[in-house]
Each structure stands twice: as structure tokens, then as C-alpha cells.
Amino acid sequence: MVMFLFLVIALAVVVAAVTLAVVGGGNESGPLPEAAPERLQDPLPADRPVGREDVESLRFPLAVRGYRMSDVDDALGRLGAELAERDARIAGLESALAGARAAATRPTLDKSRHPEDQQ
């Protein structure tokens, strides 16, 4: 019984010493400094359009309840703006292509309909 009591006391002392060491009670310089909250370092390039590799490599820092909503909202807003810009550019290019095709086919049709006007 004495040996059991000695082991329980020894275990309590070891647990208390480890707890104090982790919490910082035994540290001469004081407790551990507060860590700065992890923030998203915007990995999306500002000098060029966002590519597939940029989106695949995008990782958000974890917060207490998952991801920081503002970081995700910022990234999604940037991606949405880039997609809207690309859609507008594609629509403009398709419109220009349709106009160029119409202009290219118009003289050919006119020449084939009125061959006597060409002489």
C-alpha cells in the first residue's frame, strides 16, 4: 500500500511539472508569446490573369471554425471578377469574328449574284 501511495504521489508530481513546463511557469523569460493569427498571403498573381495552377495551389489558413470567411470571400471575389472579364472578352472576340465572317462573305455573295456588274 505504501508503494502504491508513493507511485500516485510521484505521478502527480511528474504531471504537475510537465504542466508547468508546458504552460510556461518554469520559464525565466515569462510565458510563451501570443502567436499572430494566420492570415492568407494572397497567392493569386496580381501581374497576370489567374490560371488553373494558381487555383489548384490556393490553400486557405485554418481558423477556429474552419476557414476565415473574409479570406475565402476575397479569393472568390477575385476569381469571379477574372471570370467575368474573360467572359466579356470572349463575347467581344466572338462578336468581332462574326462581323469579320459576315464582311468576308458579303463581297463573295455580291459578285456571284451580279456577274454582269463586274464587267
Residue 50's alpha-carbon distances to 34, 88, 89, 105, in angstroms, are 35, 16, 15, 37
- Compute the distance between CA of residue 26 and CA of residue 86 in angstroms, rounded to an integer: 59
Which residue has 496580381 as its cell numbers?
A: 46
Least-confidence region, from 64-68, 72-76, 87-91, 113-117: 113-117
pLDDT tens profile 3-57: 999 999 999 999 998 887 777 654 556 665 666 666 666 677 788 888 888 888 8
Structural domain count of the chain:
1
d(CA 51, CA 86): 12
> Is there a domain that residue 52 lies in?
yes
Q: What is the pTM of this model?
A: 0.48
Q: By the 8 A CB rule, do 37 and 30 touch?
A: no
Is residue 95 in a domain?
A: yes
Within a domain: 54: yes
